[in-house]
Chains A and B, each alone.
Chain A
Amino acid sequence: MRPESRAGLERAALVLYLAAVVALTSVHDSQVLAAALGLVLILAGRQALALMRRVLVSVGPFCALVSASYAVMMAPAGRFSADYLILVNLRVAALTALTLLVVQRIKLARALGFSRGLLFVVTLATSQALTLRRVVEDYRLALKSRTLVRLGLRDRYRHSAASAARLLSKALHQSGEIALAMRARGFFDDDAPR
């Protein structure tokens, strides 16, 4: 398939996904939401189990906390509704599974290709996040390798602050370097109307 056609299909899928999100939050029937979740899992195919695992990891703790608090607070007052708990947990699971599946199947960068600037920001931010994450991790490991006993609160604050400052300093340097590299490669057209 030609890249332009594929990008068009992915953009259409993104619009369909957004419509499905609004639909899933407008339906208040557990059976419909269960069917929607089932459909997402069927579409995931052999990755269905892995998808459900990711759903549980990303929203499971929040849902468990809300559900347990709801049961503890509402049951003594006689206002507990099992139907509500099923409805809200199915909705959260269906929405999260759908989002994760869409992200797996759609190349986000191509779907956002209608805006050169947005595409650029998302691609660059994603790649830079990996580089900058390494800076924070290096700082954490450097501290760990140089300390034998657990540091006090004051020293741990100083370490966190130094990491954040170094991160910002490196980010600003990177920003300038990238701007120069892009100019050198002709990304910015001086004659183009602004």
Chain B
Amino acid sequence: MHIPDGFIAPVVYLPAYAVASGAWVYAARRLRTILDERTLPFLAVMTATAFVLMMVAIPLPGGTTVHAAGIGLLAVLFGVWTTFLSVSLVLVLQALLLGAGGITALPVNALAMGLAGAAAARLAFAGLRGWDERAALFAAGALSVLVPALLIAVALGIQPLVAHAPDGTPRFFPFGLSVTLPAVLIPHLVVAVGEGVLTASAYRYLAALGGPRAA
């Protein structure tokens, strides 16, 4: 889902860095206050887990697979801010070690996937848990994919509006919202269903193993 370097204009990524930096500082302080000396190993291991969760295959009808994001599951289990920090660190490692994603796209990806995706998952889970836990977990997994996809489609789609030459030629991502919204959201509808099923199933397996329950 995430965007490589060179497609986001400074007029978007520099303010996004300002917002993300504030959120990173807040999340780090919050993590420090709610946890004790286990904070550092916990955050490091959760970061590694988020990194590896993205390698778990989600089967799709027809025999193909896509990679999980694991954001819904992490958000339900450990809360929004821990998920945000872990996913942000994963994006840094992916950008710097693998050249995937990018350093300019990092704040947009982190805010969309790590913060908005986790918050949407958590809200859906809290709202639906009293009615049906399995549906709540499915919705958490699905929204953790759909909300970031929507935000990333918007971030890409506004590029021709915010950064173009005097003759209207784009300078960064070339397509507007009329293209990016359907192009990003429609494939992610299928992925969202898969992520929803995976989140609900993995949570139940974890509970059966005696693992942690929702924070």
A contacts, CB < 8 Å to B: 18, 21-22, 25-26, 28, 54-55, 58-59, 62-63, 66, 69-70, 73-74, 81, 83-84, 87-88, 91-92, 94-96, 99-100, 103, 108, 117, 120-122, 124-129, 131-133, 135-136, 150, 153, 156-158, 160-169, 171-172, 174-176, 178-179, 182-183, 188
CA of A129 to CA of B89, assembled, Å: 12
Closest to A125 in B: B47
Residues in B with CB closer than 8 Å to A183 are 37
CA of A176 to CA of B46, assembled, Å: 12
CA of A131 to CA of B51, assembled, Å: 12
Q: Are B206 and A160 in contact (CB under 8 A)?
A: no
B215 at the interface (CB under 8 A from A): no
Q: Are A58 and B9 in contact (CB under 8 A)?
A: no
CA of A172 to CA of B211, assembled, Å: 8
What's the dominant secondary structure at chain A's contact region? helix
Q: Are A55 and B198 in contact (CB under 8 A)?
A: no
CA of A54 to CA of B10, assembled, Å: 25
Q: Are B201 and A157 in contact (CB under 8 A)?
A: yes
6 smallest beta-carbon distances between A and B, as pairs: A161-B201, A165-B205, A92-B6, A128-B48, A124-B44, A58-B99
Contact of B49 among A73, A127, A171 (CB under 8 A): A171
Contact of A169 among B46, B58, B102, B206 (CB under 8 A): B206
CA of A54 to CA of B140, assembled, Å: 35
Q: Are B104 and A25 in contact (CB under 8 A)?
A: yes
Q: Are B211 and A120 in contact (CB under 8 A)?
A: no
A-B contact pairs, 7 of them (CB 8 A): A22-B14, A91-B6, A126-B93, A129-B47, A167-B49, A168-B73, A175-B38
Q: Are A125 and B51 in contact (CB under 8 A)?
A: yes
User: Least Cβ distance of B151 to chain A in Å?
Assistant: 18
- Beyond known contacts A121-B47, A175-B45: 16 more, CB 8 A cutoff: A69-B175, A70-B174, A70-B175, A95-B104, A120-B44, A124-B40, A128-B44, A136-B56, A153-B59, A153-B61, A157-B197, A157-B201, A160-B58, A164-B205, A167-B52, A175-B41
Q: Are B48 and A55 in contact (CB under 8 A)?
A: no
Contact A158:B201 (CB < 8 A) given known A58-B99, A59-B99, A164-B56: yes
Closest to A129 in B: B48
Residues in A with CB closer than 8 Å to B14 are 22
Contact A99:B95 (CB < 8 A) given known A153-B59, A168-B206: yes
Q: Are B59 and A55 in contact (CB under 8 A)?
A: no
Residues in A with CB closer than 8 Å to B44 are 120-122, 124-125, 128, 175, 178
CA of A21 to CA of B48, assembled, Å: 27
Residues in B with CB closer than 8 Å to A83 are 169
Q: Are A171 and B103 in contact (CB under 8 A)?
A: no
